[in-house]
Amino acid sequence: MSKAKLLVVEDDPNLGDILQEYLTMKGYETTLCRDGEEGWSKFKKDKFGLAILDIMMPKKDGFTLGKEIKKVQEDLPIIYLTAKNLKEDIIEGLKIGADDYITKPFSMEELLLRIAAILRRTQKSEEVNTLKVYNFGAFELHYDEQYIISPSGTHKLTSKENELIRLLASEMNKLVNRSHALKQIWGDDSYFNARSMDVYLSKIRKILKEDPKVQIITIHGEGFKMVVAE
């Protein structure tokens, strides 16, 4: 399988050039943009498998660009690069749907590993023994097409929402270990990924509110389970 095409938006000329050169050397077709507006323009003209965005940029900051990208292609993975390490920034990135967040300075090897981990999840080949449709309560999850049908209609899911609901539905009424879920869907159980999973669980719970018989129960210190009342 050919490697994903990457969109890198970084206003630091030195870091931008190094990133493009390194990622190209590692086999990724890499498009480099120097500001958010150029990044948005390139995104609209081409199809990318992952975006790497700096946060503090001229013309259009990384968060604004990330929001615009997600409106058009909700499942495009985004990694944020930033010199800041503020809790508020991490939470803002999570709200937008960021897949990872790396604080400068960082090693190129670490970035490469994170890219590979994200792409393994989003570009994995079809699983042989995976059900295509899961039914629970008033809901019907169409796993392959990434949407769920509820009493109010059809909801398109992000790849992580889709994977989380599938995991919970396949282990109906059983405890799903938190660390296991993080490693299976996010690749590791780091603090950042744990916060990200909490955000996605919150979104899923909002959909499931349409049927009071279906709930996701959190078991403190262990994990959570989806229960369906008789």
Q: What is the pLDDT of residues 3-37, one digit of tens each?
A: 789 999 999 999 999 999 999 999 999 999 999 99
Q: In the numeric block, which tokens belong to residue 180?
A: 């296991």
Mean pLDDT of 37-62: 91
Q: In the numeric block, which tokens belong to residue 194?
A: 């744990």
Q: Is residue 2 over pLDDT 70?
A: no
Mean pLDDT of 123-133: 55
**pLDDT (0 to 100) of residue 46:** 87
Q: Which residues contact 68 (CB under 8 A, 6 or more apart)?
A: 40
Mean pLDDT of 212-228: 91
pLDDT greater at residue 123 or residue 201: 201
Say what percent of the chain tops pLDDT 70.
Answer: 92
pLDDT greater at residue 156 or residue 3: 156
Q: Is residue 1 over pLDDT 90?
A: no
User: What band does 131 get if pLDDT is binned at 50, 70 and 90?
Assistant: low
Q: Which amino acid is at 129?
A: N
**pLDDT (0 to 100) of residue 85:** 65
Q: What are phi and psi of 115, to 5 degrees?
A: -60, -50
Q: What are phi and psi of 65, to 5 degrees?
A: -60, -45
pTM of the model: 0.57
**pLDDT (0 to 100) of residue 129:** 42
Residue 113, SS3?
A: helix
CA distances from 128 to 125, 131, 144, 174 (A): 9, 9, 12, 23
Give tens-digit pLDDT for 192-212.
888 999 999 999 999 999 999
Q: What are phi and psi of 133, to 5 degrees?
A: -130, 135
